[in-house]
């Protein structure tokens, strides 16, 4: 019995298994929490739930009775539902038949409505047919009447036009012709009709006849050969101009061309190439002649031509084109006779005349491409932007504070700029060569003046003075730039820029670098390369107060030249044509002034560094193993501090206007002095414990002096720059750590080696060897120490070979200084 029960349960589960969609629909319609209703019902789990323990089997009869009662209820419900579904099929068929009958009735009603709608539409069409016919008839009738009226007007207008043309009644023709042309436009779609085409041809013939007749009248009034009509312009010609406005534009252009040609015929005769007045020195007479002619035209012919023809401006523009061609031709022929003053005189008078035209005329008649209108440069904030409307004799002063001055608004563009003066551009090489010569003489005068006057006097109250020649140079530069931009904004500006570059470099080398004080050493005079050489033991003469002030003055001048050259580059780019902007580049010249600044700072650093060398040498030669007690700072420290207090205040006061370069001086001095101090520290051997303590005290004293270096000897105490402070703290702390390692006992060796690695973070065996020498250890002891040191070194990073000289941290100050010096040597060698 027990063996058959699992087979029976499996059979029931297979029989009652429903599709997932059916099961989901049942759960949605009849939601239930009863475990018996679940699709995954498990009888064993259900029984275990009812009887979790053996004690619960005591209630088995009660549970069985409940299940049997539930089964009976389910049987009753199933029986009721089955009986209720007996008549469902018959009721469904009856409902379907009723629905089909209702659909048939609805379809019949819709068909009736559609038939009635079609009948209504047909009835409406029959009612509105007559109304539409009347509307079409009215529209056609209106069009026919309008067309007939236009035809009548056209026929009558053509007849009147032909009659008035024969009688030269141009006043009436001007109004009538425009009307006839407008009416004829309405018949464009009727040109297939012979009569309409004939009228159109008559209008064209009348227009041609009018054009030829008006040209003949003007030829008679203003013949190409001979003099003008004595009686002056007539009303007939004035009306003829009104007719020409309606005719083909070529008629108007022909009238204007012939009149202007006849009006300027006298000019071509008076200023022929072989005439004395045709040369540049009498160019004023050309412009005076056209002024008189324009006044004469206004008095005699001002009312003859319509105002919109702008005849006065057209005459002036044609005069400019003729003058430019004539001047270009005569200058090509007599190019050898052109001098700078003569060329500038002619250009100035020409540009003045072009400015006069701009004030009088709007430039509306200028042909496309005939004159290139200058572009408006953006507002600039450089010291070159000043009043540029003056002549070339104006004196201009360039100051550093010009950058803060309000700039004057730029004058409006001149549409006539270059309309005549363009012809001078091919000959501006004369001007460029002249400026090249003048600038060469100016540089030579600067050199001679510096030699004659000597270096500037020390001036510690107002800071380092900029050399006066610097301002004079840039004053002349601006004068040339303004003058050349008025002459041309094309290739001549590029040529002038090349000249500027040439003499900026010459000024940097001849005036600035050439006058830097020379130091005398065992190797002879100082050169750019030897500036960076640091040979121990070489004696370098200390600079005097005047020489220090001169170096600072040259540095300030180079800094001013650097800033002003950048502003000069920006101004040149504003002046030159947009297509040539990329060819303006003064970066090389700015780099040259940067090199002068770097050399000047290096000289100052070298001077102070050399002054401290004897004190450091004395430190390394002292018998530190014999020092018995720690006292005040040593004499060599006092000597170093004395040299610093002598030089630094002078340099700071003379570089007050260029504070950033004083900071660079301090940083470079720290980068040079600290590694040198550490190298001399290694030479102090052997050192006793007391000697190391004394050196540590001296090192701390030097550290405090170096931290106070930027404001030493100043009444106003300023906080040193963070970049400088970081260098001093890092370098001098290393020196202190070296002495602390020396002071530490070397027994036990492991502790000593670990302490060294921790304090110095330096895995170099050379440095460790120097520390052992300073402690005075014997070679045998040093050998065992070095072996232990190599064993205690931390493992190198993967991929890096252990060469015995690895660094655990950033490069030391002496390494940084050495790399900087090598870089500077390479730069100087290339230059």
What is the structure's pLDDT at 383? 38
How far CA 105 is from CA of 94, 95, 110, 118, in Å, comes to 17, 16, 9, 21
- pLDDT tens string 56-75: 888 888 888 888 898 888 88
pLDDT of residue 540 exceeding 60, the answer is no
* Structure confidence at residue 193 (pLDDT): 77
- HEC assignment per residue over 363-411: CCCCCCCCCCCCCCCCCCCCCCCCCCCCCCCCCCCCCHHHHHCCCCCCC
Residue 393: pLDDT over 80: no
Mean pLDDT, to the nearest integer, of 553-569? 91
**pLDDT in the model for residue 351:** 84
pLDDT at 643 > cutoff 80: yes
pLDDT of 751:
83
Q: How many helices (H) and strands (E) does the chain have?
A: 26, 2
Does 493 have pLDDT greater than 80? yes
pLDDT at 596: 92
Q: What is the DSSP letter of 509?
A: I
- 222 against 405, higher pLDDT: 222
Q: Is the pLDDT of residue 332 over 80?
A: yes
Say what angle helices 283-301 and 311-333 make with each other, to 10 degrees: 160
Q: How far apart are the first and last CA of the chain?
A: 114
Report the alpha-carbon distance of residue 589 to residue 609 in Å, rounded. 30
Reported as a single tens digit per residue, the pLDDT across 582-617 is: 888 989 999 999 999 999 999 999 999 888 999 999
| Mean pLDDT computed over 422-437 | 83
Residue 136 burial (CB count, 10 A): 9
What is the predicted pLDDT for the residue at 481? 86
- DSSP secondary structure letters along 566-600: HHHHHHHHHHS-GGGGGG---HHHHHHHHHHHHHH
Give CA–CA dist 826/820, Å, rounded: 10
Lowest-confidence region among 234-243, 399-408, 418-427:
399-408
Burial class (CB in 10 A: 0-12, 13-18, 19+), 227: exposed
pLDDT at position 422 is 81
Give the SS3 label for residue 764: strand
pLDDT, mean of residues 385-411 = 38
754-774 per-residue burial string, b: 16 or more CB within 10 A, e: under 16:
eebbebbebbeeebbebbbbb
d(CA 322, CA 116): 90
Rounding to the nearest 10 degrees, give the CA dihedral for residues 105, 106, 107, 108: 50
Q: In degrees, to the nearest 5, what angle opens at C-alpha 178 toward C-alphas 177 and 183?
A: 95
Residues 406 and 457: their CA atoms lie apart, in Å, by 34
82 vs 29, 76, 85, 86, CA distance in Å? 19, 10, 5, 7
Tell me if 674 sits within 8 A of 731, measured CB to CB.
Answer: yes
In terms of average pLDDT, the best of 342-351, 598-607, 679-688, 749-758 is: 598-607
The residues, ordered by sequence, that sit 6+ positions from 411 with a Cβ below 8 Å of its Cβ are 389
8 Å CB contact between 196 and 187: yes
3 state DSSP class of 262: helix
Phi, psi of 762 (to 5 degrees): -130, 115
Sign, CA torsion 460/466/468/469: positive
Task: Specify the range with the lowest mean pLDDT, choosing from 19-33, 285-299, 397-411, 730-744.
Answer: 397-411
Q: Confidence class of residue 178 from pLDDT cuts 50, 70 and 90?
A: low
* pTM for this predicted structure: 0.61
CA distance 161 to 246: 13
2: CB partners within 8 A, 6+ apart: none
pLDDT-derived band of residue 253, with 50, 70 and 90 as boundaries? confident
Mean pLDDT of all residues belonging to the chain: 76
Q: What is the pLDDT of residue 829?
A: 54
Yes or no: say if 708 and 725 are a contact pair by the CB < 8 Å rule.
Answer: no
Name the 3-class secondary structure at 711.
helix
Q: Which of 106-110, 208-212, 350-354, 513-517 has the highest mean pLDDT?
A: 106-110
Angle among Cα 180, 186, 190 to the nearest 5 degrees reads 115
Higher local confidence (pLDDT), 272 or 590? 590
Predicted pLDDT at 599: 92
More confident residue, 203 or 284: 284
Q: DSSP state, 17?
A: -
% of the chain with per-residue pLDDT over 70:
77
Query: 348-384 b/e with 16+ CB inside 10 Å = b?
Result: bbbbebbeebbeebebebbeeeebeeeeeeeebebbb
What's the mean pLDDT in 250-262? 80
DSSP state of 763: E
Q: What is the pLDDT of residue 492?
A: 85
Question: How does pLDDT run across 712-749, given as a tens digit for each residue?
Answer: 887 777 788 889 999 999 999 988 888 888 888 877 88
CB 611 within 8 A of CB 673: no
Query: Cα(799)–Cα(34) distance, rounded to whole angstroms?
Result: 71
Q: What is the pLDDT of residue 668?
A: 92
More confident residue, 345 or 212: 345
Of 298-302, 332-336, 471-475, 741-745, the poorest mean pLDDT is in 298-302
Determine the pLDDT at residue 176. Answer: 67
Q: Is it the case that residue 701 has pLDDT exceeding 60?
A: yes
- Residue 224's contacts (CB-CB under 8 Å, 6 or more residues apart) are 258, 261, 262, 265
**Overall average pLDDT of the 784-808 stretch:** 60
Of 620 and 462, the structure prediction assigns the larger pLDDT to: 620
Residue 166 burial by Cβ neighbours in a 10 Å radius (0-12, 13-18, 19+)? exposed
What is the reported pLDDT for 595?
93
**Where residue 675 falls among pLDDT bands split at 50, 70, 90?**
very high
401 pLDDT more than 50: no
Q: Is the pLDDT of residue 479 over 50?
A: yes
Q: Are 297 and 312 in contact (CB under 8 A)?
A: yes
Least confident range of 156-170, 299-313, 539-553, 664-678: 156-170
Rounded to whole angstroms, how far apart are CA atoms 560 and 467? 10
What's the pLDDT band for 798 if we cut at 50, 70, 90? very low
R_g of the chain computed on alpha carbons: 54
Cβ(256)–Cβ(314) below 8 Å: yes
* CA–CA separation, 452 and 704 (whole Å): 44
Within 8 A by CB and 6+ apart from 258, the residues are 215, 218, 219, 222, 224
């Amino acid at each position: 019995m027990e063996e058959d029960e699992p087979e029976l349960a499996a059979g029931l589960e297979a029989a009652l298994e429903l599709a997932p969609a059916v099961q989901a629909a049942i759960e949605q319609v009849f939601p239930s929490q009863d475990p018996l209703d679940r699709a995954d019902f498990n009888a064993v789990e259900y029984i275990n739930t009812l009887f979790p323990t053996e004690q619960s089997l005591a209630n088995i009869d009660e549970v069985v009775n409940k299940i049997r009662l539930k089964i009976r209820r389910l049987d009753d419900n199933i029986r009721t539902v089955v009986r209720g579904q007996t008549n469902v099929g018959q009721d469904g068929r009856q409902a379907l038949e009723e629905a089909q009958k209702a659909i048939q009735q609805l379809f019949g009603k819709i068909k009736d409505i559609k038939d009635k709608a079609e009948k209504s539409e047909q009835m409406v069409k029959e009612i509105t047919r007559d109304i539409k016919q009347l509307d079409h008839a009215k529209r056609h009738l209106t069009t026919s009447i309008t067309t007939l009226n236009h035809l009548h007007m056209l026929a009558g207008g053509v007849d009147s036009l032909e009659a008035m043309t024969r009688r030269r009644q141009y006043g009436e023709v001007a109004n009538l012709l425009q009307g006839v042309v407008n009416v004829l436009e309405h018949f464009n779609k009727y040109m297939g009709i012979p009569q309409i085409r004939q009228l159109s041809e008559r209008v064209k013939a009348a227009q041609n006849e009018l054009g030829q007749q008006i040209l003949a009248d003007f030829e008679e009034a203003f013949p190409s050969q001979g003099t003008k009509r004595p009686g002056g312009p007539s009303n007939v010609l004035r009306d003829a101009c009104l007719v020409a406005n309606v005719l083909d534009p070529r008629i108007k252009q022909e009238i204007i061309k012939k009149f202007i040609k006849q009006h300027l015929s006298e000019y071509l005769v008076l200023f022929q190439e072989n005439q004395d007045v045709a040369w540049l020195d009498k160019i004023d007479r050309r412009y005076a002649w056209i002024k008189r002619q324009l006044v004469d035209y206004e008095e005699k012919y001002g009312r003859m031509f319509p105002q919109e023809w702008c005849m006065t401006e057209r005459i002036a523009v044609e005069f400019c084109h003729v003058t430019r061609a004539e001047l270009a031709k005569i200058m090509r022929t007599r190019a050898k006779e052109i001098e700078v003053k003569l060329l500038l005189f002619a250009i100035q008078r020409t540009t003045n005349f072009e400015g006069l035209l701009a004030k009088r005329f709007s430039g509306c008649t200028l042909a496309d491409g005939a004159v290139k209108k200058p572009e408006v440069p953006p507002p600039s904030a450089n010291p070159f932007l000043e009043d540029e409307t003056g002549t070339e004799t104006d004196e201009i002063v360039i100051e550093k504070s010009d950058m803060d001055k309000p700039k004057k608004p730029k004058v409006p563009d001149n549409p006539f700029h270059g309309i005549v003066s363009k012809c001078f551009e091919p000959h501006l090489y004369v001007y460029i060569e002249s400026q090249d010569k003048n600038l060469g003489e100016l540089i030579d005068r600067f050199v001679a003046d510096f030699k004659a006057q000597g270096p500037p006097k020390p001036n510690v109250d107002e800071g380092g003075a900029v050399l006066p020649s610097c301002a004079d140079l840039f004053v002349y530069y601006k004068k040339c730039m303004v003058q050349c931009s008025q002459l041309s904004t094309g290739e001549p500006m590029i040529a002038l820029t090349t000249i500027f570059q040439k003499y900026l470099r010459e000024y940097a080398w001849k005036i600035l670098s050439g006058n830097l004080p020379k130091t005398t050493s065992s190797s002879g005079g100082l050169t750019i390369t030897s500036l960076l050489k640091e040979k121990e033991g070489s004696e370098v003469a200390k600079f005097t107060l005047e020489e220090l002030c001169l170096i600072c003055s040259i540095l300030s001048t180079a800094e001013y030249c650097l800033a002003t050259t950048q502003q000069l580059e920006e101004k040149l780019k504003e002046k030159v044509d947009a297509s040539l902007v990329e060819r303006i580049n003064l970066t090389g010249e700015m780099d040259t002034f940067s090199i002068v600044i770097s050399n000047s700072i290096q000289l100052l650093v070298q001077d102070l560094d050399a002054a401290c060398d004897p004190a450091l040498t004395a430190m390394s030669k002292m018998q530190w193993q014999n020092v018995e007690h720690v006292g005040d700072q040593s004499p060599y420290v006092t000597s170093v501090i004395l040299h610093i207090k002598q030089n630094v205040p002078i340099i700071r006061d003379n570089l007050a206007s260029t504070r950033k370069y004083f900071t660079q001086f301090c940083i470079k001095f720290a980068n040079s002095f600290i590694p040198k101090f550490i190298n001399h520290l290694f030479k102090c051997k052997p050192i006793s414990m007391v000697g190391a303590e004394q050196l540590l005290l001296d090192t701390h004293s030097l550290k405090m002096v170096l931290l106070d270096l930027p404001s030493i000897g100043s009444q106003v105490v300023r906080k040193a720059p963070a970049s400088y402070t970081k260098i001093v703290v890092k370098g001098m702390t290393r020196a202190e750590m070296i002495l602390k390692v020396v002071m530490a006992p070397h027994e036990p060796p492991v502790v000593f080696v670990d302490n060294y690695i921790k304090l110095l973070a330096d895995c170099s065996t050379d440095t460790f060897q120097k520390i052992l020498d300073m402690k005075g250890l014997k070679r045998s002891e040093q050998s065992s120490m070095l072996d232990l040191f190599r064993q205690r070194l931390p493992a190198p990073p993967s991929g890096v070979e252990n060469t015995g000289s690895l660094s655990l941290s950033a490069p030391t100050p002496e390494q940084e200084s050495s790399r900087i010096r090598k870089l500077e040597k390479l730069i100087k060698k290339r230059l």
